[in-house]
Structure 1
Amino acid sequence: MPATLPTPIEFRLPEGWLPAGPDSPDAEHAAFVAVHPRPDAGFTATIAIDGERLPDGATPAHLADESVERLRELDVSVDVTDRREVGTAEAPALTQRLAFSAVVDGALRDLVQSQVYLFVSDVEDARKKAVIRLILTASVAQHDTALRDFQEFVRTVRPDTGAGV
């Protein structure tokens, strides 16, 4: 069952990317998943969105570490190849890139996951904080091309105030 986000957002998908159906295995724990139009050797790159209320005392690095541990719980060896805290004090963010191998459809695949953590205030109560996580998962061969689309996508993500654009 798809998850829900702790605060509404709006975004625009890169050209060609398609929303995955709610019954897609990729959508099981995400609020939204989009798939790349061209698989690479049987693996389809995805962009996923999930989020949660910000736990008390949680830091961006703590949340990023939790993502790494969740992958490791799947018996996956994960390397954090890059991590940066970005943004401002008012709008902090964190990016990280993970490299791992996983069995997908019976074949071992080398994958890369680029994650962006956006820390936002609730649109109805600014005292409540949330984190929105944007995740690109792609094969090593397809990552750089898909990353350009992902960066385009990230630039479009913003709180949905209901005012329309």
Structure 2
Amino acid sequence: MPTTLPTPIEFRLPQGWLPAQPEGFEAANVAFAAVHPQPDAGFAANITIDGEIPPDAVTLVDLANSSVERLREVAESVTVSHRREVGSADAPALTQRLTFSTVVDDTRRDLVQSQVYLSLSDIGDPHKRAVIRLALTATAAQHDAVLGAFQDFVRTVRPDTGEEV
């Protein structure tokens, strides 16, 4: 069952990507999922969105580390191949890229997951910060081909104020 985000957001899916029912080990925490229309060797690249309101002392690095540990519970050879804090003091963000192996539909796959953590002020209470995690998961062979679409998608994510633009 999909979850709801701690603060409403709006976004635009990359052209051709299709909304999907979240599945897999973190499905209970996923608020939205989309799949690429052209699978690579039977695995469809996917984008997922989830979020939380972490305790004040928890940093984006802490959340990223927790994500790595959760993935290690279900996958093998999990490696953080890239991590960088970005954004500003008012709107901090973190990006990280994970490589790992796992079995999907009885087939061992080498996958890459690019994650973006966005810290957003809660619309109802600006003193509360919500963290939204955007993740792209693709085969190692397809990742670079779909990364640009994911980056375009990330640039469209913003708080949903309910106002027409």
For Structure 1 versus Structure 2, the TM-score category normalised by the shorter chain is: over 0.9
Instruction: Count the aligned residue pairs.
Output: 163
Within 2, Cα distance between the matches of 1:152 and 1:90?
22
SS at match of 1:25: coil
Within 2, Cα distance between the matches of 1:134 and 1:75?
19
Partners of 2:75 and 2:100 within 8 A in 1: no
- Aligned-pair distance for 1:74? 1.4
TM-score under structure 1 length normalisation: 0.96
TM-score under structure 2 length normalisation: 0.96
SS at match of 2:161: coil
Within 2, Cα distance between the matches of 1:76 and 1:119?
29
Residue number in structure 1 paired with 2:122: 122
Partners of 2:75 and 2:101 within 8 A in 1: no
How do 1:15-164 and structure 2 match up within 5 A? 15-21=15-21, 24-26=22-24, 27-164=27-164
Residue number in structure 2 paired with 1:12: 12
| 1:63-94: CA deviation from partner (whole Å, max 9, x where unpaired) | 00000000011143200000000000000000
SS at match of 1:144: helix
* Gaps in structure 2 of 5+ consecutive residues: none
Within 1, Cα distance between the matches of 2:34 and 2:150?
11
Within 2, Cα distance between the matches of 1:59 and 1:29?
19
In the alignment, residue 116 of structure 1 is paired with which amino acid?
A: V
SS at match of 1:83: strand
- Aligned-pair distance for 1:56? 2.4
Which is further off, 28-37 or 1-10?
A: 28-37
Which is further off, 111-120 or 68-77?
A: 68-77
Give the root-mean-square deviation of aligned CA atoms.
1.0
Large movers: runs of 4+ above 3 Å: none
Partners of 2:74 and 2:102 within 8 A in 1: no
- Aligned-pair distance for 1:124? 1.1
The percent identity for this pair of structures is 67
* Gaps in structure 1 of 5+ consecutive residues: none
- Aligned-pair distance for 1:3? 1.0
